[in-house]
Amino acid sequence: MSFSYDVCVVGGGGHVGLPLAITFATRGLSVWIVDRNEAVLGTIASGKMPFLEVGGDAPLQSVMGKNLWVSSDSEVVGGARWVVVAAGTPVDEHLNPKLNQILDLFAELAPKLRNGQCIVLRSTVFPGTTEKVRDLLARAGLDVHVTFCPERVAEGRAMEELTTLPQLVAGCDPIGTRLATELFEKIAPYTIPLGPTEAELAKIFTNAWRYIQFATANQFLMIAANYGLDFHRIQSALTREYPRMAGLPSSGFAAGPCLFKDTMQLAAADHHHFWLGHAAMLVNEGLPSFIVRHAKQRYSLATMTVGILGMAFKANSDDPRESLSYKLRKALVYEAKEVLCTDVYIQDPSFASLEVVMQQADLLIVGAPHREYKDVEIAADRPLIDVWNFYRRGVGL
């Protein structure tokens, strides 16, 4: 069976789909990006990344309009040998997965797909979703090969990690596994075959494990602070030339669009018996209020202007999704005289410039430790709370 081009990435304008589309194109494949966001497509078509991605601009410019194209018309999916869908399962306000979104998307795509295509689910999905998509498309009369090949990269480093990390490949049938393997062997060093539910759990286990690791460090920070001690001084001692503690991460805000969501998905998948995941959520989500509570004990917040340095969910990112800096701001608004926020990467009319924050804030709190803040001069006697230990002055609680 012949197809017009190689790959179509649905949802290809986002953090998951766009780096993948560019990487496929740089390996010589013909690729269409389909996305509903016309503004994002316009930015991509001009050769610019619509978000921060290390090493993304140059390869985008090298393939855009040559073997990489963009469209808001989903009809183009019918011409692709491989259809990669970068849409996952979010959680609702009750922390349960919203399965209908991805199933509704495939119901919409079904009339435009063709027999023989390989369908690749790329974003994190609730266990069992891949087989539900297979069944939905089969009921639509389609003979396609549905697979789950999860992204495994750190946001902002996709262009590097897509070509250096092994790729999990899970097909609902042997042909699907073979076709997906053929596709990802073009970019990954090697592939690892699994069953669909195995791969779905592998992806969620990965994010839940990282979330739990961060929660461990944050819980240790809280315990140390309750003793009036600095966690990072203790951490530095217990990890120095001691390999059994090498896996302990630094403390800091653990949030963003993936880790929290996927930990809660795993809890829902296990009928809310995932006590470790729930405990990690309480620790990580509770860190902003812990900071404010201890700041109230140490300072007269009601008379102070507080400045938050960095509002993205992590360092050197322009992504504000699920950032705990916003939760920190909300808690501080009730306690401080004034709260000023700044971020070098995020444009927000409610934010102040870095200069204004540094001039007016009585207390500084590091929200996202962007590299640009490293050279900011902060007097040794200036109140600073830094759960990341970015400035190597301790936590300050």
pLDDT digits (tens, 9 = 90+) for 228-277: 999 999 999 999 999 999 999 999 999 988 999 999 999 999 998 999 99
189 and 280 part of one domain: no
**Are 133 and 275 found together in one domain?**
no
Residue 393 counted as domain residue = no
Q: The domain containing residue 175 runs over which residues?
A: 5-194
Regarding whether 206 and 174 lie in a shared domain, the answer is no
Q: DSSP of 41-110, one letter per residue?
A: HHHHHTT--SS--TT-HHHHHHHBTTTEEEES-GGGGGGEEEEEE-----B-TTS-B-THHHHHHHHHHG
Classify residue 224: in a domain, yes or no. Answer: yes
Residues 263 and 143 in one domain: no
Same-domain pairing of 119 and 161: yes
Tokens, residue 282:
């309480």
The secondary structure of 108-174 as a DSSP string is: HHGGG--TTPEEEE-S---TTHHHHHHHHHHHTT---EEEE----PPTT-HHHHTTTS-EEEEESSH
Residue 98: the pLDDT is: 87
From 176, 194, 212, the end of a domain falls on 194
Q: What is the chain's mean pLDDT, rounded?
A: 96
Model pLDDT for residues 104-127, shown as the tens digit of each residue? 999 999 999 999 999 999 999 999
85 phi/psi in degrees, rounded to 5: -110, 115
Provide the pairing of β-strand 68-71 with 338-342.
Answer: unpaired
Q: Are residues 153 and 89 in the same domain?
A: yes
| Residue 40 shares a structural domain with residue 173 | yes
Which of 194, 221, 245 is a domain's end point?
A: 194
Say how many domains are in the chain. Answer: 2
Q: What is the CATH number of the domain that holds 54?
A: 3.40.50.720
What does the block give as tokens for 202? 């592998």
Q: What kind and span of H or E run contains 10? A: strand 5-10
Tell me the pLDDT band of 212, cut-offs 50, 70 and 90.
Answer: very high
pLDDT over 70 percentage in the chain:
100
In a domain, 104, yes or no: yes
- In terms of pTM, does the model score above 0.75? yes
* Claim to verify: residue 108 and residue 21 sit in the same structural domain: yes
pLDDT given for residue 50 in this prediction: 96
Domain match, 22 and 80 both: yes
Residue 147 lies in a domain: yes
Rounded distance between C-alpha atoms, residue 44 and residue 25, angstroms: 14
Last residue of a domain, which of 175, 194, 213?
A: 194
- Assess whether 101 and 159 both reside in one domain: yes
Handedness of CA 57, 59, 63, 69 (dihedral sign): negative
**Rounded Cα gap, residues 305 and 313, in angstroms:** 22
The answer as to whether 392 is a domain residue is: no
Query: Are both 188 and 249 inside the same structural domain?
Result: no
